[in-house]
């Protein structure tokens, strides 16, 4: 009876890791379509403050969200490390601006703990867990909760 449980504990999660400020985050690699360098972002009037604008990526208009602002952090000038992670959320393609992308990482599911009530000053509603690595913690984002249905409606209208 213990056999299936053990197999699940040893299951590897494959994550794309990135940083925002001093914190390191991870998202499920299967949700990530691509990672691109920053490009010209067209501002959109009356967009929510965390929406940086839209980009044209190979003929598709994609809304771009500044994760720093989404998490209530101060904006930062884009530099050579800044990246846009293109992700599909609820059948919508969205780009997230991050300070830098670190690596693709495989971690055992057994090393992930449920999130504490507040992590790095952010509400834990966006966080699916915290992965413990040898010398650091990795905050795992729940992409489906990062944007509310209202947010997605607004983005869909852009």
pTM: 0.84
How confident is the model over 18-40, as pLDDT tens digits? Answer: 999 888 999 999 999 999 999 99
Domains of the chain in sequence order: 11-157 (2.40.50.180)
Distances (CA, A) of 45 to 18, 48, 52, 54: 29, 9, 10, 11
- Identify the helix (H) or strand (E) that includes residue 64: strand 60-66
DSSP state string for 89-107: ETTEEEEEEESEEEEEEEE
Token look-up 């994550």 returns: 15
Helical segments of 10-126, H only: 67-70
Dist CA 66 CA 49 (whole Å): 9
Entry field: residues in the chain:
158
Task: Give residue-wise pLDDT tens across range 127-154.
Answer: 889 998 888 889 999 887 887 777 777 7
């Amino acid at each position: 009876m213990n056999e299936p449980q053990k197999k699940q504990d040893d299951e590897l999660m494959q994550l794309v890791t990135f940083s925002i400020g001093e914190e390191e985050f991870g998202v499920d690699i299967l949700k990530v379509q691509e990672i691109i360098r920053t490009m010209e972002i067209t501002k959109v009037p009356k967009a929510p403050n965390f929406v940086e604008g839209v980009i044209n990526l190979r003929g598709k208009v994609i809304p771009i969200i500044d994760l720093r602002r989404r998490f209530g952090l101060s904006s930062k000038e884009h530099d050579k490390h800044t990246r846009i992670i293109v992700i599909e959320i609820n059948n919508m393609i969205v780009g997230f601006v991050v300070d830098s992308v670190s690596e693709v990482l495989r971690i055992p599911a057994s090393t992930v703990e449920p999130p504490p009530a507040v992590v790095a000053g952010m509400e834990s509603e966006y966080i699916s867990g915290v992965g413990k690595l040898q010398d650091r913690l990795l905050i795992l984002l729940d992409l489906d909760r990062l944007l509310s249905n209202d947010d997605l409606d607004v983005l869909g209208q852009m």
